[in-house]
Structure 1
Amino acid sequence: MNLDTLYESLRLRKRPEDIAVLIKDVLQENLDTKEMRQLNKAASGALRNKVWQYTSMLEKFADVSGAQVQVGRAIQLFKTDDAADMSAYDDPLVVEAFLAKVSAVIHKNPGYSDYKTDRLNREERMAAGLDISRRQYNKLFRCLRHLDKKLHTMIREHKKSLFQRIGKHGFAEDISREDFMKDVNSACFIAYYNARCNLRSEFTVSGQQRAYDEIADMLLQRCLYEPETADWWDIMPSKRQPRQEDTANWWAIAQVYPDQEVLRKLSPEQQGMLLGKWTTLLEQVAAFLEDLWQTNEINRQSMVVQPGNDSSTWNNTANAWNKARDGWMNLIYALGMEFILEEMCFGKVMRLIAGDVAAWHHLTGSKGDTNLTVWNQVPLPWEVLSGKTTCTRERVLAACKAVNLDPERSGWIAPRTHQPVPFLPTPELVHGVTVSNPYLATLLKQHKYFSGKGATPLFPGQN
């Protein structure tokens, strides 16, 4: 049951502490003393171990609004029998099929909803056998026009939601239940690391928490080595031996953690398949980024949010690009194909930064992110990927050297290297600001504190 719960968590946004306590249940009898001590750092903070089992943080990603209202109106006007399961109209493909079906009733082409050019006149309606008044026809056309607009909005919102999730946890949602259940140690690492990846960004100038912490590292090491008894591990750690038979599901692990050590465990066919997935994703994200770039007046030099910028969508999509680029970069090195960078070396995408955070950096004496300088010295990455311009490894290397930035460790021309970081408890956040009490956090959210939208006083009438 706990493994099923861990699998379901891949599509949610559970706190790492609440995943850790489930892992503790699963591995209880196979954990040595050191592993138990490490896991307890997180598991002790699980909600089920607290008196007040409550968090102000939503435990799932935001849903995309469906087309139930628009479809319901169309069903009423067109008198169809499609109202059996309205929840199905959360899916754009179902809405698209319904739209095509009802559009045919008035001989309307889906997607063509201009009042001046796409409506049928009286003669055309008569020729099509539509024996209805102009007023009734216009009402039906207008209904389909609204549904068509809603469908386009749904498609875009689903794409934004997908990129947000991928930007956090890669291809975690592509892991099948069967693959997840094949190996317990692999499942535990995937679930915990996925939860760490899903942490929200904090309002800070000291950098965000890294996903790969000491507990994630311990769980990954269990995939590499055969667990011993607690006595052997405590007395003679060197006695822990590599597995005689590698039972870890490296293909599943690679969906969320495409590290060089993991990728070397894959077959050439699996490496090629994963390279194809990341490359396809890069192309999809690049097209969306280009559209956002053209429709938002973004200050490339500073990347400080300007009025009218859709910063949330830009940052989520930038995260998806950087996640995909990291996966792609890891794979071309694993395949020995890094020569590609000599002719095509597209860069990272910088996130937009809030004006108050930028001012905070300035007050602390920070000279700014050196990655931002590199971003401004190389072509826009989606233009490089599409072939509109060129950017070579040497050009990126020169831009990094100009600001004394290590081009390899920073991930500009090689897979980023990292070490496990200490575990830190998951904070309760209100628009990125840490609040010590979850009930207070909920109250502050309700009153729009830290949102920049004009907070209402907690106690009206008092200063």
Structure 2
Amino acid sequence: MAQLIQDLFNAQRTEIDPTAAAALDKAAEHSLRSLWHGYTSMLEDFARPVGAQRQLARVASLFESVPELPSDAGDDPARIEAAIRRAGEEIRREYGENDFGMDRLNRAERAEAGVGEMSKRQYNKRFRLLRRMEAKLARVVHEQRRREVTVTGKGALAHTLPYELFAADPGTAAFIAYLTARANMRSVFTNGRQRRPYDEVADALFQRLRAEPERTDWYAIAHVHPTAEVLGHVPDDDLIRLLVRWNHFLREVAELLEDAWNRCRLERTTMIVRPGNDSSTWNQAAQAWSTARAHWFALLTELGEEEILDRVCPGKVPRLMAADVAYWHRMSGGGLHPDTYVWADLPLPWEVLRGEADCPRSLVEAVCRRHGVDPVAGGWTGPRPAAEAVRFRRTPELVHGVAVADPLMASALRSAGVFSGQGKRAAAQEWL
């Protein structure tokens, strides 16, 4: 990303101050264009749901009323549902009638409905297909929703910015792109803190914006970097628009968290993964909740609506921790993070948002004091203080969270099953 920003500034003949130029040079030294192998083993996009293209093609071949659809229709829930409904009309099946014993038509009912010429076998084939299509549609919707939560949890609302707004000012675009790229990096297997996105390169780019505030699109930056300084440049109408979006997103994430919670109750007092826990879904949703909550708090504070927190102050949601990481913490003299104890003593966030449980700011402050946590500095009752820029470090090649030397070794280790914990020990030992 640093290399692309340099290319952009050169193409735009944009003047770069020495500090920003030095920071970009430092980061661009490690771009793929500068490395001898010129590639990375890391995925460069978030996993996308498998669409219903194959099922739609099958529907078009069995139902005369359904035309062949373009390939992108398989990723559009509305078009998938429309195809299911249209095909259902052909065999007189209502959408949602999926009970194979109760909802199928017998011979007399098929004759009465005008599909008596169709054999029982052909009718059952079509009924089964539409039933499977509805199940597939539900999976597509769920996975798309989960991907949206994952992307937003990492990069906030950067992906929702219209291109015209994003690209109106090169400096604004450079800062948003770099900070989002940093935020999108995968987590590292560690018993310490993850690397913060806001590093010395991001800070240098931000200082350029601060020097030219009249050219900067602060509303666009507020989508990803809601500090008090940034929000102070944004009109109240735009702040309210962002607040409404984050309100809606918080409720969506709360539903996903509740669903993961109900499918397999977690060990709330430790947040250590147990067999059967869907840790991937929970951790993605927990990160999204943290991001949305931080933006929500910052916007409420800037709008002067902090009294809302006196009535409704939903707590933070910790990620699930692998047992080996928890053991690593204990062996290195640490233990559970104090936030885990606070989380365990507060009402569940989805119950708070639905009004089923009271969680005012006074309760959160009392629980924090009981466990020796600063409610303000810890981000429990308000926005966190603006983070200071951290030192730039190159993006590592990771194999299941473990940093390795280069992408060739990463590919070999990954194929051998090293660090996966999935029972590929024989392959790993043979490779080693």
TM-score of the pair, normalised by structure 2: 0.95
Counterparts in 2 of 1:148 and 1:273: CA distance versus 1, 3 Å: same
Structure 2 counterpart of 1:224: 210
Match of 1:443 in 2: 412
CA contact (8 A) 1:24 1:43 kept: no
- C-alpha deviation, 1:74, in angstroms: 1.5
SS of residue paired to 1:352: coil
Q: Which of 42, 49, 74 in structure 2 is aligned with 1:89?
A: 74
Structure 2 runs not aligned, ≥5 long: none
Q: Equivalent residue for 2:274? A: 306
Q: Does 1:391 align with 2:359?
A: yes
C-alpha separation in 1, matches of 2:3 and 2:24: 11
Q: Partner residue of 1:230?
A: none
Kept in 2: contact 1:168–1:320 (CA 8 A): yes
Q: Which among 16, 20, 23 is matched to residue 31 of structure 1? A: 16
Q: 1:148 to 1:462 in 2, by over 3 A?
A: closer
Match of 2:164 among 178, 181, 193: 178
CA distance 1:330–1:85, shift in 2 (3 Å): same
Task: Give the aligned residue type for 2:409.
Answer: L
The aligned counterpart of 2:335 is 367
Pairing partner for 1:188 from 174, 178, 181: 174
2:260 corresponds to which residue? 292
Matched, 1:138 2:124: yes
Q: In structure 2, do the counterparts of structure 1 residues 401 and 460 end up closer, same or farther at CA, with 3 Å as the change threshold?
A: closer
1:248 aligns with 2:216: yes
- State whether structure 2 residue 348 is matched by structure 1 residue 380: yes
Residue of structure 2 equivalent to 1:41: 26
The answer for the alignment partner of 1:11 in structure 2 is: none
1:110 matched to 2:95? The reply is yes
Query: In 1, are the aligned partners of 2:416 and 2:431 still within 8 Å (CA)?
Result: no
* Correspondence list, 1:281-430, <5 A: 281-417=249-385, 418-430=387-399
Equivalent position of 1:125 in the other structure: 110
* Matched residue type, 1:320: A
Number of equivalenced pairs:
430
CA contact (8 A) 1:64 1:154 kept: yes
Distance in 2, matches of 1:217 and 1:110, equals 54
> What's the % identity of the aligned pairs?
41
CA separation in 1, counterparts of 2:263 and 2:96?
A: 22
2:155 equivalent in structure 1: 169
Deviation of the 1:68 alpha carbon:
1.6
Distance 1:262 1:319 in 2: 22
Q: Which AA in structure 2 matches 1:53?
A: G
Rounded to whole Å, the distance in 1 between the matches of 2:115 and 2:71 is 28
C-alpha distance in structure 1 between counterparts of 2:266 and 2:69, whole Å? 46
Deviations 1:313-360 (A, max 9, x none): 110011111111111100100010101111111001110010100000
TM-score normalised by length of structure 1 = 0.89
Secondary structure class of the residue paired with 2:300:
helix
Residues 122 and 134 in structure 1, CA contact (< 8 A), matched pair in contact too: yes
Q: Deviation of residue 148 (structure 1)?
A: 1.0
Q: Taking CA–CA contacts closer than 8 Å with sequence separation of 6 or more, which of the two structures ends up with the larger relative contact order?
A: 1
Quote the residue 2:42 is aligned against. 57
**Using a 3 Å threshold, how does the CA distance of structure 1 residues 19 and 353 change in structure 2: closer, same or farther?**
farther
For structure 1, the residue ranges without an aligned partner over 5 or more in a row are: 1-15, 227-242
Q: Is the 8 A contact 1:297 1:306 kept in 2?
A: no
User: Contact (CA 8 Å) 2:80, 2:137: kept in 1 or not?
Assistant: yes
1:128-184 deviation line (CA, Å, top 9, x unaligned): 111212221111100111111110111111111110101001111111111012111
Match of 2:86 in 1: 101
Q: Which amino acid aligns with 2:129?
A: C
Deviation at 1:297? 2.5
Question: Which of 140, 148, 167 matches 2:134?
Answer: 148
2:350 alignment partner, SS class: helix
Of stretches 255-264 and 24-33 in structure 1, the one that deviates more from structure 2 is 24-33
* Aligned AA (2:225): Y
3-state secondary structure, aligned to 1:157: helix
CA distance in 1, matches of 2:429, 2:273: 32
**Structure 1: distance between partners of 2:383 and 2:41:** 36
C-alpha deviations, 1:404-456, integer Å up to 9, x for none?
Answer: 22211211001011111111111111111111121110111122221111225
- SS of 1:30 mapped into structure 2: coil
2:145 equivalent in structure 1: 159
